[in-house]
Amino acid sequence: MTTDSEAAMPPARHERMRRGALGAWWGQGARTAFLMRPDWTGLQVTPFNVAWLVAVPFGLSVAWQRLSIDGPANFYWPALLSGWLQTVVAAWLCWWLVPAGGTPGSPRHAPGPAALFGLLAAQALPLFTLLAVAGLALRPGGDIDLTRLGPWTSWGVSMAMLAWYEAAVLTLCWRSSPAPTRVKVTACLLSVACTAVIQASPVGLWYPAEPASRAREPELKLTQALMERQPQLLAEQLQALRPSRRNVIDLYTITFAPYGHADVFRRESQLVADVMQQRFDSTGRTLQLVNHPGTAEQKPWATPLNLERAIHRVAEVMDRRQDILFIHLTSHGAHSGALSAGLWPMEVEEVTPAMLRRWLDEAGIRWRVVSVSACHSGSWIEPLAGPDTLVMTASDIEHTSYGCGRRSELTFFGRAMYEEQLRQTRSFEQAHAEARRVIEQREREAGKSDGYSNPQISMGDEMRQQLLSLRVQLEPGAP
């Protein structure tokens, strides 16, 4: 397509512009990225040009996603077929905003829908480049680490960058269209809605590769012998729980690790059980419920029914007037509070805060310490809190915890709270407060991208006195 002004150009200049057609497009794209008016002069609309204008920023986006993942990564090719909603909507809006015949003699408006679509594609390259550079500076560990300023600051900056991108797109469309105002307003609203949909459910092209060691992990084999052994194993270990001692506050321990596809939860279950026996005299009063192929012959499965049975058995052997039940749950977590559970090929129901509260109430257990090491575990605080209860979590409701990957030795919460702090003090409140400080520092050093996990604690007034009595019993002379 050749404009009138282009036809009047000297032949030499016209040839230079034709040879540098893509550069001219990206030059105008850079102008519009900074909300400047485009100059449509010399922009050649050809299938070749438009294809390159779309392909180059898309290719850079694919490469950027890969570079943002440390270590091996897998390419998710089906995403190539599902991520074109924005492009299709943009093409349709260009056709709607600019007449197919163009607007000859009007340098302020696009000469046609294909030209507007081409400039939108050209605009994507400088915008992507600028936002990528900003992302490098703002990332955890970068020159400006926003995670230090809290999640709201990080979220606000991300939204401002997205708003700039959308403002550049809308400004270009508005200025380039001769359509009535009502049409342009509607088109802008549709563009914003499309962007919101894309941001709400992004589809990644690259995902971290599973470590090679996963292929060597043992797999659960549901043999008849194992299916018959598991109920016997639970019954034996429940029967072996020691009864309460007269005039002694005993602490009973249950650890619950329902996600059987990561070793970190099995290790944390063992660690917590060991610490509680060594520091709180719970030897003979500790039960581990674990889902893992490697422990199926030694430990009862971590299923909701087994946990309910364990709670009721503890209620039978303990002195419910004074003894304390400590429960540590470790798994992946959801905003709803449900803990991920699984031991393929067996299906395992998820445990929720409401379920645990009901079982404790039905068993008549008064003194409760509940520790939840999972993402979004702050959702367990409100359903379980009470004057006779202590609830500790690895994060608040909005944030993920850290260290629950397949290659993790322990979660950050498990290491700081149990491996380190509770080996130095028997005060859960003191240990939790110090663990919070340690976890925040380690998450920042590790580059946690969604902000501080913000572990939570809720201590009932009566429980505080009961735990102090236990501490004095274990440490005569303790304040």
Evaluate if pTM is beyond 0.75: no
Single-letter amino acid, residue 103:
T
What pLDDT score was predicted for residue 18? 46
Domain shared by 246 and 183, yes or no: no
248 with 331, same domain: the answer is yes
Which pLDDT score is estimated for 137? 57
Same domain, 194 and 236: no
Q: Which of 177, 208, 239 is the last residue of a domain?
A: 208
Q: Are residues 191 and 51 in the same domain?
A: yes
The domain in which residue 265 lies consists of: 228-474
In angstroms, rounded to a whole number, what is the distance separating the alpha carbons of residues 94 and 92? 5
Of 208, 237, 252, at which residue does a domain stop? 208
CA atoms within 13 A on the CB side of 244: 19
Domain count, the chain: 2
Same domain, 202 and 239: no
User: Looking at the domain assignment, is residue 218 inside a domain?
Assistant: no
pLDDT recorded at residue 141: 47
Q: Are residues 369 and 439 in the same domain?
A: yes
In a domain, 375, yes or no: yes
Across-strand partners of 75? 206
pLDDT given at position 194 = 83
pLDDT in tens, the chain (479 residues): 444 444 444 554 444 444 447 888 888 888 888 889 988 887 888 888 888 888 888 888 888 777 766 667 777 766 666 667 778 888 888 888 887 655 554 567 888 888 888 888 888 888 878 777 766 655 554 445 444 545 556 567 777 888 888 898 889 888 888 889 998 899 889 888 888 877 665 666 776 665 544 444 567 888 889 889 999 999 999 999 999 999 999 999 999 999 988 889 999 999 999 999 999 999 999 999 999 998 999 999 999 999 999 999 999 999 999 999 999 999 999 888 999 998 888 889 999 999 999 999 999 999 999 999 999 999 999 999 999 999 999 999 999 998 877 667 899 999 999 999 999 999 999 999 999 999 999 998 888 878 899 999 999 999 999 999 999 999 876 65
Q: Residue 117 CB: number of other CB atoms within 10 A?
A: 23
pLDDT score recorded for residue 79: 66
Which of 146, 176, 208 lies at the terminal end of a domain, its last residue? 208
Residues 100, 204 within the same domain: yes
**Predicted local confidence at residue 217, as pLDDT:** 53
Residue 251 and residue 400 in one domain: yes
The neighbouring-strand residues paired with 390 are 369, 459
* Residue 222, in any domain of the structure: no
Q: At what angle do helices 461-474 and 263-280 cross, to 10 degrees?
A: 70
108 forms beta bridges with none
Determine the pLDDT at residue 6. 44
Q: Are residues 268 and 313 in the same domain?
A: yes
What is the residue whose two structure tokens read 């894309």? 198
Structural domain includes residue 19: yes
CATH label of the domain that carries residue 375:
3.40.50.1460
Q: What tokens does 456 get?
A: 């939570």
248 and 119 both lie in a single domain: no
Both 317 and 364 in a single domain? yes
Give yes or no: residues 202 and 232 share one domain: no
214 falls within a domain: no
pLDDT for 184 equals: 87
Establish if 96 belongs to a structural domain: yes
